[in-house]
Amino acid sequence: MKQCILQVVLDTPLDSSFDYRWQTTNDDELIPHIGQLVRLSFGRREVVGLIVGVTSHSNISEAKLKDVQGVRYQLPPLSTQWLNLCGFAAQYYQRPLGEVALPGLPKNLRALTTVALDRGLKKLRQMNDPHDASPVDVPQLNPAQQDAADAIASATGFAPTLLYGVTGSGKTEVYLQAAEKILAHNDGEHNPAQILILVPEINLTPQLEGNIRARFPNVMVATLHSGLAEGERMRHWLAAHLGQARIILGTRLAVLASLPHLQLIVIDEEHDPSYKQQEGLRYSARDLAVWRARQLNIPIVLGSATPSLETWHHAQSGRYRKLELRQRAVTNAVLPTVRLVNMEHDKPREGLTSTLISALKLRLARGEQSLLFLNRRGYAPVIACDACGWVSNCTRCTAFMVLHKPEHRLRCHHCSLELRIPGSCPTCGNVDLQPLGRGTQRLEEGLQAMFPEARVLRIDADSTRRKGSAQLAFDSVHRGEVDILIGTQMVAKGHDFKNLTLVGILNPDTALFSHDYRASERLFAQLMQVAGRAGRAAQKEGGSVSEVLIQTRYPQHPLYSAVIAHDYDHFASALLAERQQAHLPPYIYQALLRAEAKELETAIAFLQQAATCLEHGGITMNDPIPMTMTRVANVDRAQLLIECPSRPGLQAFLTDWMAVLRTIKTRAKWSLEVDPVDI
C-alpha cells in the first residue's frame, strides 16, 4: 500500500491549499506529482484541483482526511516554472493561487471526465501534419529592421527591448525574422524553442496569423484566444504545454499558458489597453510577460509606435533597450500629412466639414479609399424632448440610453437594457423626439445621402456581432469593395490597408478634457494609430498624397501639435514630466479598492472601514468616493484609491490589508485591483 498527502489548490476564493490523501494498493501506480490535476470532492461538489505539494504529513486528523478520487496521469505535470508564474500573479494581484491557476486552464481539462482530454490528445497529432507550403515572398529587411532583428535574435538572458517604430515601419517583419533565427538555432529535439507572440485582439489581426503560418510551414503554430471553441482551445493549449507548438500567437490570456521551452516573448502594440484584463483577476499581460521573461532569463520585445508611458519611462532610464525604426518600410511610402480643420470656422454638415467633404470627393474620383474614425457607436448618444426636457436616461445606470436606429432600439451600453424607441415623449406626449449628437450609424446615413454612388461600410461592435463578420468586413475593404470606411477604435488597430489615402477624425475633442489622467496618453496613441492607416503603400502616379484631417474646436491644443509633427518623443517626455510633478504613475504605485451594493451608503461605509482598519504609514489613503458612473444595472459603486512611492511597500501593505479586509462583515461586494488603469 502506497500513501501520501496531496496539497491541492482549487478555484475558490479561499486563500489556502487543501490536504487530501492519496493511496493505492497497486504497486505499479506512480506517486502523484506537483503540477498534476486531481479529481476530488470539495464540500458537496466534485471538482478538479491542482497539486502544489506532496508530503507525508497533514495537520488534519486521519479521520477527517478525504481521499482524492483520481489523478489525471495522461497530462504531463505543469512545470514548477509555470506554478511560480501563477504564484507570482496570485501574490502580486492579491488573489488565491487556485483562482489564478485553474481558470487559466482549458475548460475541458478541468471537466470531470477525461474523455475530452483523450480526444484532445488524439487530434493534436493531426495538427502536426505539415501543411501545404507554397513559398512566400520574404521581404529584404532595410538596414534599421535588420539591426533590430539581429539585436533581438542575438540577445541572451533577460533583455527587455522596446521596438519603437512608426506605423508601417515593418515591426512585424522584424519579429518574424528574429523568430526565424531563434527557431533555426534551437532546432531538434534536444533544444527546441518556443516563441510567444502576444497581440491585442487576434480577431482583428488575422493577417498576422496567416502570415506566420505561411512563413513557418514546418513549424506547429498554436493560437490562444477567447474566440476558440473549447475543443480547439484545448488542442492548442496542449500543443503549447507539450512543447510541440513552436510559435504561440495569442491575446492577453496566452501569457498564462504553459510553455516549457519559451525562448522569446514578443508583445505587439504593447501600449494597447486590451492587455489589461478588466474583470476577475485584473492583470496586465504586458507586466506579467516581462516578469515571465525575467524569471526564465530570456529576451522580450515590446513593439509600438506609441509606447505606454510605463515602457517609455523604462526605455528612457535605460532599463529597457530602445531600438528605433523611423521610416516606413515600403519604398516611397511616407507618413501621412496631418492637418487640423477648425470646426468654428468650417461648420460641419452631417458631422463633416467642407474641407473633409472635398477631400472625400477627391478620393472617390480617384478610386482611393477613405476612413472616417468616430469612436462612438449607435445613431445618437441620447434622444431628448424639446418641449419638457425629458432625456433617454437608463433607469438602471447613471447613463443615457443610446439610440440605435437600424435596430429600432434604445440601448444602454453599460447594462443589457433594451427598449423600443418611444413614439412620443414618455412625460409630455410630444411626438417630436430629437436625437442629440452623432454616432457611427448617423454618420453612415448622412454619408449615403451625400454620396449616393459611394460604397460606404460601417465597422463597429454593432455591425460585427456575428462571429466571423468582422473578418468578412475587413476582407471586403482589402479587396477594394469599399470606398468609405466608417469605424470606431476597431478599425484603428494594426490593419494594413493598402489603398487608403485619407483618414478623417471626427470628434476627438471630448477626450482632451477628461478627468482621467490617462486620457491624453490614450487619445494621442489612438490618433497616431488611426492616422497610421493612411499611406501605407507608395503613392501612385496621379494618386493622392496621403493625409489625415482632424476636425476640432481646439486647434491650439499641444496634443494636436504633437500629432501633426508625428512627435511622440517630446509629447511622451512632456507627459512624463507632468506625471512626475503630479505624483502619478509611473512615479507612484496605486491600488484601487472597489465596492458595490444596492445602496451607495453600504459601499461607502465598507470603504471607510477599510480605510481605517489598519495602520498605514507610508501609504496614502484617499477618501472613498462614488465612481464617476455611480450606478450600473441597479448597483451603486464606490472606490478607494491608495498610493505608495514604493512598489514593495505597497505590496507589503496590501497583503496585510487583504487579511483584515476579509474579516470585515459587509453586504457590499468588493474587490482589489493593483495597478488600476481606469480610475
Using CB under 5 A as the criterion, what x/- string covers residues 428-467 for binding Zn ion?
x-x-------------------------------------
Rounded Cα distance between 624 and 162, Å, is 37
Counting contacts by CB under 6 A, is residue 168 touching ligand ADP?
Answer: yes
The secondary structure of residue 401, as a DSSP letter, is P
176 interface partner picked from Zn ion, ligand ADP, none, CB below 5 to 8 A per type: none
Counting contacts by CB under 5 A, is residue 393 touching Zn ion?
Answer: no
Rounded Cα distance between 410 and 418, Å, is 6
Residue type, 654: L
Counting contacts by CB under 6 A, is residue 169 touching ligand ADP?
Answer: yes
Q: For 506-549, what is the HEC assignment?
A: CCCHHHHHCCCCCHHHHHHHHHHHHHCCCCCCCCCCCCCCCEEE
Using CB under 6 A as the criterion, what x/- string covers residues 526-545 for binding ligand ADP?
----------x---------
| SS3 at position 256 | helix
State which of residues 278, 427, 471, 514 lies at the interface with Zn ion (CB under 5 A): 427
139 interface partner picked from Zn ion, ligand ADP, none, CB below 5 to 8 A per type: ligand ADP
Window 304-333: residues binding ligand ADP (CB under 6 A): 329-330
Alpha-helical (H) ranges within 555-629 are: 558-564, 568-581, 600-612
State which of residues 184, 388, 582, 660 lies at the interface with Zn ion (CB under 5 A): 388
Rounded Cα distance between 308 and 568, Å, is 11
- Shortest Å distance, C-beta 434 to Zn ion: 11
Nearest to Zn ion of 633, 660 (CB atom): 633
98 interface partner picked from Zn ion, ligand ADP, none, CB below 5 to 8 A per type: none
Nearest to ligand ADP of 62, 137 (CB atom): 137
- Per-residue cell: 49: 484541483
State which of residues 4, 214, 281, 387 lies at the interface with Zn ion (CB under 5 A): 387
- Shortest Å distance, C-beta 140 to ligand ADP: 6
Rounded Cα distance between 296 and 420, Å, is 55
Position with the least CB separation from ligand ADP: 170
DSSP string, 458-520: EESTTTT-STTHHHHHHHHHHTT--SEEEESGGGTSS---SSEEEEEE---GGGGG-SSTTHH
State which of residues 40, 105, 264, 394 lies at the interface with Zn ion (CB under 5 A): 394
199 and 235 in contact (C-beta within 8 Å)?
A: no
Instruction: Report how far apart the first and last C-alpha atoms of the chain are (Å, whole number).
Output: 58
Counting contacts by CB under 5 A, is residue 425 touching Zn ion?
Answer: yes
484 and 445 in contact (C-beta within 8 Å)?
A: no
- Per-residue cell: 431: 411626438
Nearest to ligand ADP of 167, 375 (CB atom): 167
Nearest to Zn ion of 330, 394 (CB atom): 394
Counting contacts by CB under 6 A, is residue 171 touching ligand ADP?
Answer: yes
- Widest Cα–Cα separation across the chain: 89
Counting contacts by CB under 5 A, is residue 422 touching Zn ion?
Answer: no
H/E run at residue 313: helix 309-316
Residue 4 marked ligand-binding: no
State which of residues 165, 200, 508, 585 lies at the interface with ligand ADP (CB under 6 A): 165
Nearest to ligand ADP of 86, 330 (CB atom): 330
Residue 86 marked ligand-binding: no
State which of residues 108, 167, 369, 501 lies at the interface with ligand ADP (CB under 6 A): 167
The number of CA neighbours under 13 Å toward the Cβ of 148 is: 29
| Paired residues of 419 in beta bridges | 410
Nearest to Zn ion of 387, 454 (CB atom): 387
Residues in contact with ligand ADP, counted by CB under 6 A, come to a total of 17
Counting contacts by CB under 6 A, is residue 244 touching ligand ADP?
Answer: no
Residue 388 marked ligand-binding: yes
CA distances from 372 to 96, 145, 207, 558 (A): 45, 31, 22, 23
Footprint on this chain of ligand ADP (rule: CB under 6 A): 139-142, 145, 165, 167-173, 329-330, 496, 536
- Binding residues (CB under 5 A) for Zn ion: these are 385, 387-388, 390, 394, 396-397, 412, 414-415, 417, 425, 427-428, 430
- Residue set of the binding site: 385, 388, 394, 397, 412, 415, 425, 428
